[in-house]
């Protein structure tokens, strides 16, 4: 059974904006799933419809087989949601917030108190349990929303930008925590702008753009499609212009000591070093420019926006698939 | 696999339990809010009632003489209690629900499995709770100034509960439609206050000319105040049975409307 199944979901807002244009999506039980897309792509609208914060225009959605039109209460009982925007009462304490939230899901108060202690401790908020929530730091507020979403131990946890504004140390501890939750059997759907986060955590991915799913694949399969990579070379001596390298992709001089070179998968680094050496350019160190998913994401989104482009050797197939989903031509 | 995992994979969903615990949670939360800001929720009405008793009852009331066969202070006491119940029931729900909507923490409930009728009932129960707490405090104040004899205890209880439910629902609908804090204040200022003052709190409608009496009977607060006064003094300007019929009908109609609007997402969902 799928944790989430969406068919032909559309949403047109009163102002005429068509946020979703017929989304089909399945998320398997136990998955750690990334739902990515640029701002305004339709991610939050899709989550809003599933969690009943937004009324859909057309289509169907079900959560663990519970149709949101016919069994809304049962569907919602399965979901825990961490929204993008802060949505707790800032004048209440973290402890009150999480205990009350458990109550809204029918968790008896003694059980809720036990869970409140467990989750607030796990998310390093126990010391702040009796402080006014508005006094918490941005990262603490985000963690409070995660603790709140877990109070009824949902089968499906939806996280909409859960680590926005959270420092790297806490973000990584939150990743470990989410992996643990997922390992216990909870399906997780994650939207994030930190693509490294999605690449690190998620097994499957969908990319939404302009209200349509433009890509849906296993993370590993998607990453394999990328056939170029950009490397950053730190140089001993300064350069005034980027050298022209035959047979390589774009070469960019970031500053007088930093050179970026785009390389195809089949090209090896020894050859690059040899070419650079022949030009009298001495390399001090080298690193990969961006995480691979970011590169794919940008190509998909930009390609989709321009009606061209795509990912490496499969770019044609991807763009064609995206166009077919939009009912257009590749 | 841990117990948490098993629970995550095969939970049982008892909607009845969810609804009951959810309802209690809303009421507990509302009670917590009323007590936390008691200086705004409970005290002001007691202070206002004291001033009314001092000025209208003690200073001016002596010159007014008897009203409906009772001294003036005794006559206005039930009306002042009811006035406090009406304004506080309304104010509690409108401010709490609109605050939740404005601060977005209403979403905590909207994403939960609680159906609309449970959410409406929870907020209404909170409004009734504050109405009763404030009504009790005004009753205590009134006992410092006059004697209250209970003629029909059941009538008192039924009238205060029905009135409180009705105005809590009114506050809920106001909050549902309100888009800003100005709109939260419009109805209490321009509708509720005039209706209350013309609702027979301070006078018997028999003192009014014929046309004004007829107009007064359209005012639902007149019926509520008089039903409540009948419970204490045994006198009323209106037929008590008609008053109760109106109160029940109003409460039912408002409840159904509130639940329907919640289900449609009016004012709370896009």
What pLDDT is attached to residue A166?
79
A273 and A139 fall within a common domain:
no
What pLDDT is attached to residue A267?
85
A328 in reach of chain B (CB within 8 A): no
Q: Which of B2, B28, B107 sits opposite A184 (nearest CB)?
A: B2
Angle at the Cα of A104 (from A98 to A105), degrees rounded to 5?
Answer: 95
Q: Which of A54, A87, A103 sits opposite B269 (nearest CB)?
A: A54
A138 and A17 fall within a common domain:
yes
Residue A306 lies in a domain: no
Asked casually if ipTM beats, i.e. exceeds, 0.90, the reply is no
d(CA A206, CA A191): 10
A269 and A123 fall within a common domain:
no
Instruction: Give the gap in angstroms from C-alpha A161 to the nearest C-alpha of chain B.
Output: 17
User: A36 has which bridge partners?
Assistant: A207
CATH of the domain at A283: 3.30.70.1560
B149 in reach of chain A (CB within 8 A): no
Residue A248 lies in a domain: yes
Confidence class for position B104, pLDDT limits 50, 70, 90: very high
A132 and A162 fall within a common domain:
yes
Is the pTM here over 0.80, yes or no? yes
A218 and A233 fall within a common domain:
no
A23 and A171 fall within a common domain:
yes
Of the residues A179, A196, A223, which one is the last residue of a structural domain?
A223
Domain range for residue A260? 228-288
- CA-nearest residue of chain A to B268? A53
CATH of the domain at A132: 3.40.50.300
B179 in reach of chain A (CB within 8 A): no
User: pLDDT (tens digit, 9 = 90+) per residue, B12-47?
Assistant: 778 899 999 999 999 999 999 999 999 999 999 999
Residue A267 lies in a domain: yes
A122 and A238 fall within a common domain:
no
SS3 A231: strand
Q: Mean pLDDT across chain B, nearest whole number?
A: 91
Domain range for residue B56? 12-264
Q: Which of A99, A104, A107 to mutate to test the interface with B (most CBs of B within 10 A)?
A: A104
What pLDDT is attached to residue A224?
74
A219 and A72 fall within a common domain:
yes
Q: Could you read off the pLDDT tens digit of each residue along chain A, which spans 330 residues? A: 899 999 999 999 999 999 999 999 999 999 999 999 888 899 999 999 999 999 999 999 999 999 999 999 999 999 999 998 999 999 999 999 999 999 999 999 999 999 999 999 999 999 999 999 999 998 899 999 999 999 999 999 999 988 887 788 888 888 999 999 999 999 999 998 888 888 889 999 999 999 999 989 898 887 777 667 788 999 999 999 999 888 888 888 989 999 999 888 778 889 999 999 999 999 999 988 766 677 777 777 776 656 544 444 333 333 333 333 333 332
Residue B2 lies in a domain: no
d(CA B70, CA B75): 6
What pLDDT is attached to residue B11?
58
Residue A228: CB partners within 8 Å, gap ≥ 6?
A249, A262, A263, A264, A265, A295, A312
Nearest to B78 by CA among B238, B220, B200: B200
A126 and A218 fall within a common domain:
yes
A143 and A252 fall within a common domain:
no
A255 and A149 fall within a common domain:
no
Residues of chain A with Cβ-Cβ distance to B114 below 8 Å are 73, 104
What b/e readout covers B120-159, taking b as 16+ CB neighbours within 10 angstroms?
Answer: bbbbbbbbbbbbbbbbbbbbebbeebbeeeeebeebbebb
């Amino acid at each position: 059974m799928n944790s989430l199944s969406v068919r032909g979901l559309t949403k047109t807002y009163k102002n005429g904006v068509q946020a979703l244009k017929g989304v089909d999506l399945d998320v398997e039980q136990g998955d750690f799933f990334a739902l990515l897309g640029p701002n305004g792509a339709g991610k939050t609208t899709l989550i809003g419809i599933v969690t009943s914060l937004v009324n859909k225009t057309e289509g169907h959605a079900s959560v663990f087989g519970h149709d949101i039109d016919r069994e809304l209460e049962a569907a919602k009982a399965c979901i825990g949601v961490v929204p993008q925007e802060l949505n707790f009462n800032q004048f209440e304490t973290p402890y009150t917030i999480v205990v009350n939230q458990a109550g809204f899901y029918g968790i008896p108060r003694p059980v809720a108190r036990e869970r409140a202690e467990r989750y607030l401790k796990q998310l390093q908020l126990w010391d702040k349990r009796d402080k006014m929530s508005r006094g918490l730091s941005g990262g603490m507020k985000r963690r409070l929303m995660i603790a709140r979403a877990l109070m009824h131990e949902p089968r499906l946890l939806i996280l909409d930008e859960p680590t926005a504004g959270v420092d790297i140390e806490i973000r990584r501890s939150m990743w470990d925590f989410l992996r643990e939750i997922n390992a216990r059997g909870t399906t997780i759907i994650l939207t994030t702008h930190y693509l490294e986060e999605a690449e690190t955590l998620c097994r499957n991915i969908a990319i939404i753009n302009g209200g349509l799913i433009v890509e849906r694949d296993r993370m590993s399969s998607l990453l394999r499609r990328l056939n170029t990579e950009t490397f950053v070379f730190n140089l001993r001596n300064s350069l005034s212009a980027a050298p022209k390298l035959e047979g390589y992709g774009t070469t960019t001089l970031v500053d007088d000591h930093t050179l970026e070179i785009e390389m195809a998968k089949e090209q090896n680094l020894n050859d690059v070093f040899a070419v650079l050496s022949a030009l009298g350019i001495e390399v001090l160190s080298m690193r990969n420019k961006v995480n691979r998913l970011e590169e794919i994401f940008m190509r998909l989104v930009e390609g989709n926006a321009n009606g061209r482009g795509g990912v490496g050797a499969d770019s044609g197939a991807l763009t064609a698939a995206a166009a077919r989903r939009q009912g257009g031509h590749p | 696999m841990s117990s948490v995992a098993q629970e995550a994979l095969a939970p049982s969903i008892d909607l009845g339990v969810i609804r009951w615990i959810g309802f209690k949670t809303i009421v507990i939360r509302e009670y917590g809010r009323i007590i936390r800001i008691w200086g705004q929720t409970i005290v002001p009405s007691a202070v206002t009632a004291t001033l009314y008793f001092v000025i209208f009852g003690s200073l001016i009331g002596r010159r007014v003489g008897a009203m409906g066969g009772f001294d003036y202070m005794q006559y206005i006491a039930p009306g002042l209690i009811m006035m406090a119940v009406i304004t506080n029931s309304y104010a509690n729900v409108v401010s709490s629900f609109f605050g939740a909507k404005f601060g977005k923490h209403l979403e905590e409930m909207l994403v939960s499995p609680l159906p609309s009728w449970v959410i409406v009932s929870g907020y209404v129960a909170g409004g009734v709770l504050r109405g009763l707490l404030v009504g009790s405090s005004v009753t205590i104040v009134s006992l410092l100034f006059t004697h209250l004899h209970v003629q029909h205890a059941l009538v008192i209880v039924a009238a205060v509960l029905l009135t409180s439910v009705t105005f809590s629902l009114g506050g809920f609908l106001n909050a549902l439609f309100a888009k800003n804090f100005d709109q939260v204040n419009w109805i209490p200022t321009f509708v509720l206050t005039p209706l209350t003052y013309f609702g027979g709190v301070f006078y018997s409608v028999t003192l009014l000319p014929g046309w004004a009496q007829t107009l007064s009977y359209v005012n639902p607060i007149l019926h509520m105040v008089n039903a409540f006064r009948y419970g204490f003094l045994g006198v009323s300007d209106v037929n008590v049975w008609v008053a109760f019929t109106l109160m029940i009908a109003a409460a039912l109609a408002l409840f159904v409307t509130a639940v329907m609007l919640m289900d449609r997402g009016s004012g709370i969902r896009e």
